[in-house]
Amino acid sequence: QIVQRVRKQYSDQLFLCYAYAPYDDAPKVNRPDENLIIQFCPWLRCRTHPYGLDSCTRSVRTYQQFTGWAKITHHLWLYEYGAYTWSCPYPNLQKTARDFRFFATQGAEGWFRDICFADWWTEGINQYVDCRLAWNPQAEADELIADYCRLFGTAQTPLVEYFQILEKAMQKAGCIFIT
């Protein structure tokens, strides 16, 4: 109702609203106003698995929430929390690539990534890959990783291998989430 009243004076403006915590689920009755951007904030999502992975209940739940919003809103953005593994290096770049392709299929228009400076070693590659995928969700994670690591000259090959080892270890660790 607030957006509808403000729209009378500012009809060409969009307004942003977080779908956060108790509001992660899309409403079943009301539909967001056409001038309202819904920014989905999946705080309780699994940080290891892509959206909708059947073997991960949190990924399935987050998938259902996101697709629920995608069905009813005119403008959908994502608020991604980054890794937040509290000082543990966390390159989960293959998952990120799958997630960006999923966001694109759902019509997501915007994306914001919160960062955690405690994860400093992998923040560079995480941000690089995220930004490149935001520009082109169809980009291949392996190509983006190699491109980023090329910045390190002769260390490119061992660095690519290092990130692959870390990512495999994260996958073996199972679900990682924040409560």
> SS3 for 16?
strand
Quote the pTM value.
0.88
Residue 85 in tokens = 């593994």
Supply 87's token pair: 């000082």
What own/partner pairs with CB < 8 Å and gap ≥ 24 does 163-168 have? 163/91, 163/93, 163/122, 163/125, 166/89, 166/90, 166/91, 166/122, 167/91, 167/92, 167/93, 167/94
- What DSSP assignment string belongs to 84-115? --SSS----HHHHHHHHHHHHHTT--EEEE--
DSSP state of 140: -
Compute the mean pLDDT over every residue in the chain, rounded to the nearest whole number.
Answer: 88
Report the distance separating Cα 47 and Cα 35, nearest Å.
31
pLDDT recorded at residue 88:
62
Kindly report the backbone phi and psi dihedral angles of residue 39, in degrees, each rounded to the nearest multiple of 5, phi listed first: -105, 105
CA atoms within 13 A on the CB side of 36: 19
Kindly indicate the confidence band of residue 86, based on its pLDDT and cuts at 50, 70 and 90: low
Residues 110-169 pLDDT 10s: 999 887 666 667 788 888 999 999 999 999 999 999 999 999 999 999 999 999 998 888
Of 20-24, 38-42, 91-95, where does the model show the most confidence?
38-42
